[in-house]
Amino acid sequence: MNNQENGGWVQLPTVEFRKELGMNQDANWVNDDLAFFSLLDRVIFLKYRDVDHYFSEVSGNEPEDLPMAGNKWFTVYDSSSLHGLRLTPANEYNVLEIAHSDTHIYFAISAFGSTFASALTEYVKVPK
């Protein structure tokens, strides 16, 4: 199941997604926000072997089953207010939101935002 596209989602191994998420960061990127990356490890990277991935910057059409913005998404981690107070370790902020359907859990991962650049959001879908 290596990089196959299915309904707008790209199926890839979590190892590959984890590497891609931090590929533009230095060797200590995980230590910049240990709580955030530890949470990602527990809910995605250590739990699932493969994920369905969507990133509007490089993917085609938005998947039809991606939950719409609004009351379907629940914020489980948001360090942007700490960033505004300049309390984040690397002067960056991260956000994790979760939504679900009858069959899947969706993660909206916004990482490495800063004062002058918003955090780009990548989406991951896994089976319940």
Nearest to 97 by CA among 74, 128, 79: 74
Q: Is the dihedral of CA 13, 32, 90, 123 positive or negative?
A: positive
pLDDT at 73 over 80: yes
Residue 67 lies in a domain: no
Rg of the chain over Cα atoms, rounded to whole angstroms, equals: 14
Residue 52 lies in a domain: yes
Structural domain count, the chain = 1
Strand partners, 124: 53, 107
Question: How far from chain centre, in Å, is Cα 90?
Answer: 18
Q: What percent of the chain has pLDDT over 90?
A: 40
pLDDT at 24 over 60: no
Residue 69 lies in a domain: no
Residue 66 lies in a domain: no
Q: Helix count (H) and strand count (E) of the chain? A: 4, 7
